[in-house]
Amino acid sequence: MIDVNFQLKGSAVTVVVLAIVRYEPKSLLAELKEKIVQAPQFFTNSPVLINLDRLENPENLKKPADLLAICRELDLQPLGFSGVPEVLLAAVNKTGLAVLPTPSERALKLPKQEAAPQVETVIERVVETVVETVIEERLVQRQSKVITRPVRSGQQIYAEGADLIVLAQVSEGAEVLADGHIHIYGTLRGRALAGVKGDESARIFCQQMEAELISIAGNFVLQDSLPKELFKKPVQASLSGEKVILEALVSN
């Protein structure tokens, strides 16, 4: 019998990052509606992190609660903000949602050490010591998680710190995630998210591309944006800058 009142556990949760570049309420509402219609199963009731790091007109966002209302009207579930400009910090805090630090803000700020007092020393003898450092380069192989059965609708498979290999199909409504690459030796009809912790070198490979959504390091493409010539074909996806690049897999 467990004699504690709670347990803390790690979990993989897909979070949509809504990065606001310009805040114009009416146009934002219309554009979000258009995007959600393209993949309602992915966006409906999805947790959303609102990023204001690139906001060009913070003066328009006097009431962050109005932005939250827009999200909730579209069945998005805001869980917090990130990249909040100083001028908006007080207003954002009033919403009661979390203000999450960006990676640069998360870096530890070590306290400066005071300089040690100078001590007058008489050196009688100096011994020169040469230290030779040998760096041995080793190839570290990333682990792989292998799934042999079909991933059915509603299932989520996550390969933490590893590549994910699926030897069957990924059904519509299913979700596969990996910190590394994703290999699917079947049809991809659900969602595939590679490099979920920010690895921009991650790739997605599948034998038949019919995905609802594919994502690499947080940059995603919806099904309606897939090139028609690649639909239902063997495809690999990689990242170039912030753009997901789709290419045909050519066998020798």
Q: List the chain residues with pLDDT less than 50.
A: 108-110, 119, 121-123, 126-127
Query: Considering the entire predicted model, what is its pTM?
Result: 0.60
Q: Which domains does the chain have, with CATH numbers?
A: 16-102 (3.30.70.260), 143-248 (2.160.20.70)
pLDDT score, position 192: 94
The pair of structure tokens assigned to 64 is 């962050």
Per residue in 37-91, pLDDT tens?
877 767 778 889 999 999 999 999 989 999 999 999 999 999 999 999 999 999 9
pLDDT score, position 177: 94
pLDDT score, position 132: 58
Contact 204/164 with Cβ under 8 angstroms? Answer: no
> Could you tell me how far CA 49 lies from the centroid of its own chain?
11
Contact 146/165 with Cβ under 8 angstroms? Answer: yes
Contact 143/161 with Cβ under 8 angstroms? Answer: yes
Q: Using CA atoms, how far apart are residues 81 and 91, in angstroms rounded to an integer?
A: 12
